[in-house]
């Protein structure tokens, strides 16, 4: 009956009867696969939800300062795309029963402060922030895409399609930043490296707690 690799274990109960446990290896491996799938989706959705919330707050902060300037519509367009990204992950959180990161309140404030403070340096400052953030996010999405393809491209097709679409839009945001003279921001390299590594650290933390 258990020809597909059954494992039997026996133990004697205190009443003297013998307890026989039968473990189906196929069941055990499908349970392990399901656990792995849940852990993977948990980590991906938690961190991406946090990142998209942070991105929304950054663009909101930029709009608070530069909304009425000539670059207002450009920033608004990027913010509108971020709203769609966040909406998607807000749907995926309950769908896959993922716990959001405990860091959300901090990213909420930090995102807005980062967006507004860099925008106070002028259009170039805001765009330098955008190029730095989006560099970190594009790399992050590419890492996730690679991981899911290695894991099972068929199983994760829907998630892969979402991540690829968002990755491409984040790349556009990065390129827009360059087109709108990010590199002319005061202390561009310091600003760029600081923000990029700050985002990378935020990603690391949001994947874990
Ligand atoms: Fe985004
Ligand atoms: Fe973006």
Q: Which residues surround ligand 2, an ion (CB under 5 A)?
A: 170, 173
| Tens-digit pLDDT profile for residues 110-124 | 999 999 999 999 999
Q: Which domains does the chain have, with CATH numbers?
A: 37-208 (1.20.910)
CA of 8 to the centre of ligand 2 (A): 54
Q: Does residue 98 or residue 21 have the better pLDDT?
A: 98
What would the mean pLDDT of 20-42 be, rounded to a whole number?
A: 82
Percent of the chain whose predicted confidence (pLDDT) is above 90 = 79
Q: Is 82 annotated as a binding residue?
A: yes
Q: Are 71 and 129 in contact (CB under 8 A)?
A: no
Percent of the chain whose predicted confidence (pLDDT) is above 70 = 92
- Closest to 173 measured CA to CA, from 204, 124, 138: 138
Residue-level pLDDT at 2: 46
Q: What are the residues whose beta carbons fall under 8 Å from the beta carbon of 145, sequence distance 6 or more?
A: 160, 163, 164, 167
Residue 86 has pLDDT above 70, yes or no: yes
Q: Is 174 annotated as a binding residue?
A: no
Q: Is 84 annotated as a binding residue?
A: no
CA of 3 to the centre of ligand 2 (A): 53
- Angle among Cα 101, 104, 106 to the nearest 5 degrees reads 130
Helix (H, G, I), strand (E, B) or coil at 208: helix
Tokens 């971020």 belong to residue: 82
Residue 36 has pLDDT above 70, yes or no: yes
Q: Is 155 annotated as a binding residue?
A: no
Residue 131 has pLDDT above 90, yes or no: yes
**Gyration radius from the chain CA atoms:** 23
Residue-level pLDDT at 22: 67
Tokens 């029963």 belong to residue: 97
pLDDT band at 21 (very low <50, low <70, confident <90, very high): low
| Tens-digit pLDDT profile for residues 156-188 | 999 999 999 999 999 999 999 999 999 999 899
């Amino acid at each position: 009956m258990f020809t597909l690799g059954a494992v039997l274990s026996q133990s004697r109960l205190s009443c003297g009867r013998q307890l026989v446990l039968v473990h189906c290896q196929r069941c055990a491996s499908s349970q392990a696969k399901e656990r792995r799938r849940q852990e993977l989706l948990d980590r991906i959705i938690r961190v991406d939800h946090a990142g998209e919330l942070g991105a929304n707050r950054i663009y909101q902060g930029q709009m608070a300062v530069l909304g009425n300037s000539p670059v207002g519509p450009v920033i608004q367009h990027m913010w509108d795309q971020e709203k769609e990204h966040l909406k998607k992950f807000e749907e995926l959180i309950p769908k896959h029963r993922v716990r959001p990161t405990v860091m959300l309140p901090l990213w909420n404030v930090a995102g807005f402060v980062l967006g507004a403070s860099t925008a106070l340096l002028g259009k170039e400052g805001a765009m330098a922030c955008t190029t730095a953030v989006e560099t970190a996010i594009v790399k992050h999405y590419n890492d996730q895409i690679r991981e899911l393809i290695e894991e099972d491209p068929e199983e994760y097709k829907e998630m892969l399609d979402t991540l690829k679409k968002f990755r491409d839009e984040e790349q556009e945001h990065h390129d827009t930043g360059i087109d709108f003279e990010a590199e002319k921001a005061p202390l561009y390299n310091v600003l760029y490296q600081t923000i990029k590594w700050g985002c990378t650290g935020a990603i690391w933390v949001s994947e874990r707690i």
